[in-house]
Amino acid sequence: MIERIKTELAGALIALDYDGTLSPIVADPMQARPVDGVVETLTRLARRGAQVAVVTGRDARTVLELGGLHDVPGLLVSGLHGAESWRDGELTTRDEPPGLEVLRRLLPPMLPPDVWLEDKRLSLVVHVRRAADPLDALQRLTEVVPPLAAEHGIEAHPGKLVIELRIPDLSKATALDRLLTETTTAAFFAGDDLGDLPAVRAVQDWTARTGRPALTVAVGEVAELRDAADAALAEPAELAELLAELAR
């Protein structure tokens, strides 16, 4: 399939998650940096006519700064699961629902030591990675956080040692449905977590509907994503190699 996408690279969509996909997962999310050489590869893909997009649960500006992605030609960043979009220096964004402000106040006193709340403006993420027993902390919080979020009109979504709270009816499929246009010649998507499943399905629905070549890739160990995607890789470094092959 890589060879078929290569032949259609001018006009292809290359859409990628950031954390765990372009960048390895790290203890401090603000230290997440792309795998060596992958930004240069994305630049080559863009110069060959591909639409390069980062589709992420983070806010767009943070990903741009952490990734050093400003110089990728024509780059589009869909942030916060499609709640915002950055292109050519312009950011469009959804309004903040009132329930998020309520949760900002209610959640911090409920969290045990070493569990922290990341504020992404249009979403909140409960991180348990630093807890003494992360899986136990996640299980306990899963019993109380999603019902509280639902009470205030916010959806809770599980991830790798996180619970993400975001605007209802948004997912990475929201972004992919906008990016896959009538003129898209081929599609490539890679992600690493449960939040990437809707994007995988959106790409697969698109290729089934159009007959155009597409490849979806799971990076890492999330079984549900590996089962759903067309291919699976162990780590971001392997994805970087696959992208480099696509760019050659």
Tens-digit pLDDT profile for residues 188-247 = 999 999 999 999 999 999 999 999 999 999 999 999 999 999 999 999 999 999 999 999
pLDDT at residue number 60: 93
pLDDT at residue number 242: 97
Global pTM reads: 0.84
Handedness of CA 13, 200, 90, 19 (dihedral sign): negative
pLDDT at residue number 217: 98
pLDDT at residue number 122: 87
pLDDT at residue number 113: 86
Q: Is the pLDDT of residue 68 over 90?
A: yes
Q: Is the pLDDT of residue 6 over 90?
A: yes
**pLDDT tens digit string along 8-35?**
999 999 999 999 999 999 888 889 999 9
What average pLDDT score do residues 141-152 get?
94
Residue ranges covered by each domain of the chain? 2-93+170-247, 98-166
For domain 98-166, the question of CATH label 3.30.70 is answered with yes
Q: What is the CATH number of domain 2-93+170-247?
A: 3.40.50.1000
DSSP state string for 136-164: HHHHHHHHHHHHHHHHTT-EEEEETTEEE
Ranked by mean pLDDT, the top range of 81-85, 87-91, 226-230 is: 226-230
Give the pLDDT band of residue 171 (cuts 50, 70, 90).
confident
Give the pLDDT band of residue 123 (cuts 50, 70, 90).
confident
**Which has more pLDDT, 83 or 242?**
242
32: left (phi over 0), alpha (psi -120 to 50) or beta: beta
Contact 206, 214 (CB under 8 A): yes
What are the helix (H) ranges across the chain? Answer: 2-7, 38-47, 60-67, 98-106, 134-151, 172-179, 197-210, 223-228, 236-247
